[in-house]
Amino acid sequence: MPEDCFDEQGLCAKFTNPARQRYGRSMENRSGEMAVFLTVAETGSFSAAARKLALTPSAVSKVIGRLEDRLGVALFVRSTRTIQMTPEGLTYLERVRPILADIEDAERAVASGEGIEPHGRLRVSASVAFGECCLLPVIPAFLECYPRIELDLSLTDTVIDLVEDRTDIAVRSGALRDSTLKARKLLETRRVVVASPEYLARHGLPQQPHDLLSHRCLRFNFRPALNDWPFRDPVTGETFRLPVTGNAYGNNGVILRQLALSGVGLARLGAFRVADDLAAGRLLPVLEAFNPGDIEQIHAVYVAHAHMALRVRAFVDFFAATLRHGPPSGFLSPFSQPAG
């Protein structure tokens, strides 16, 4: 390798073999100097160490010289044919070996997750309804399983920017638009128009979608598209959207569900939000013959990294494993592909 591949300190800018890759990133700090010293001690010559580290003999000599200058002692006695370690060199060797072994073990453990318990602060965001229905019930078991994780959970129906808001995981429903994020599909749910028996008794049961124009419909205040309700003609199969009107808005499904239960109006919500209410008769399905069968997908999304943090993987895998035992009421199916 040409001499111009090395800097003025005798350090190679290119790491071309496993031994060089093993220590090359830290070649300009003390652990890097220790690695060169250990290689010289193990091989018994500057030239052999240079071959193993993909350096020139002169570069190895410069590193050892710089190390000896800093320590203020000679580590090797050099002759034209051989090198011998000094007593100080032997003492240094005894200390260097375990230090470098500890560094290598630490890097291997962090890279593979071996022996490392998931830990640190984990920021999770989810919709209010989904959080209440599906996340909060499993949080105690998760924290019991991973006591070193500090969970920071926020419930909001507003779509957040994971990077800007420093969030590790967001559980989102609907189509995913940000291609820079990784996503794991967790569940699917259909959507349904509902109203309370009291509301229908006062205002009548809509017979076809356009009847809704004379009814009070509960709307979201943050995503206008959610207020254009889709329907499908059961005769022609034609799908169309109907902008609904009403006198009440909310920023999440929990609010709209509660208003529907109170008889304020009709709401179109994910089936999981109202499954128990439908089963108990507190809410009734409306216009089911015109339901287009659209599916709302639930994903866990996170910023794409070459290596996923253990705490992120632990949360996604734990949650998915819980769902495999049976999705909550109102969901169609869980998905169980591993996080990655």
Same-fold call for 3-112 versus 122-340: no
Give CA–CA dist 267/271, Å, rounded. 11
- Residue 64 makes CB contacts below 8 A (sequence gap 6+) with 36, 37, 40, 46, 75, 76
Question: Which among 200, 186, 329 is positioned nearest to 270, based on CA atoms?
Answer: 329
Token representation of residue 218 = 């509960």
Name the residue with higher pLDDT: 243 or 328. 243
| For the chain, domain boundaries | 3-112, 122-340
Give CA–CA dist 331/107, Å, rounded. 42
Q: Residues 253-274: pLDDT tens digits?
A: 889 999 999 999 999 998 888 9
Beta strands 120-126; 149-155: pairing state: parallel
Give CA–CA dist 200/219, Å, rounded. 18
Q: Residue 159: what residue type?
A: V
Per mean pLDDT, which range of 21-35, 80-94, 179-193 is the poorest? 21-35
Give CA–CA dist 172/182, Å, rounded. 12
Q: Residues 210-251: pLDDT tens digits?
A: 999 999 999 999 888 889 999 999 999 999 999 999 999 998
* Long-range CB contacts (within 8 A, 24+) of 103-109: 103/31, 104/22
Residue 229, burial from CB neighbour count under 10 angstroms (0-12, 13-18, 19+): buried
For 292, the 3-state DSSP assignment is coil
State the sign of the Cα–Cα–Cα–Cα dihedral 39, 41, 43, 47: positive
Q: What secondary structure letter does DSSP report for 80?
A: S
- Angle at the Cα of 117 from the Cα atoms of 105 and 104, rounded to 5 degrees: 10
* Range picked from 50-54, 235-239, 332-336 for highest mean pLDDT: 235-239
Q: Residues 136-155: pLDDT tens digits?
A: 989 999 999 999 999 999 99
CB atoms under 10 Å from CB of 275, counted, come to 18
Q: Quick one: average pLDDT of 301-315?
A: 82
Beta strands 284-286; 333-334: pairing state: unpaired
Give CA–CA dist 105/90, Å, rounded. 23
Residue for token pair 């499908």: 232
pLDDT at 162: 85
Confirm or reject CATH 1.10.10.10 for domain 3-112, answering yes or no: yes
Give CA–CA dist 204/199, Å, rounded. 8
Under a CB-based contact definition with an 8 Å cutoff, are residues 253 and 226 in contact? no
Under a CB-based contact definition with an 8 Å cutoff, are residues 202 and 209 in contact? no
Fold of 122-340: D-Maltodextrin-Binding Protein; domain 2 (3.40.190)
Under a CB-based contact definition with an 8 Å cutoff, are residues 227 and 197 in contact? no
Give CA–CA dist 99/278, Å, rounded. 65
Token representation of residue 267 = 């709401």
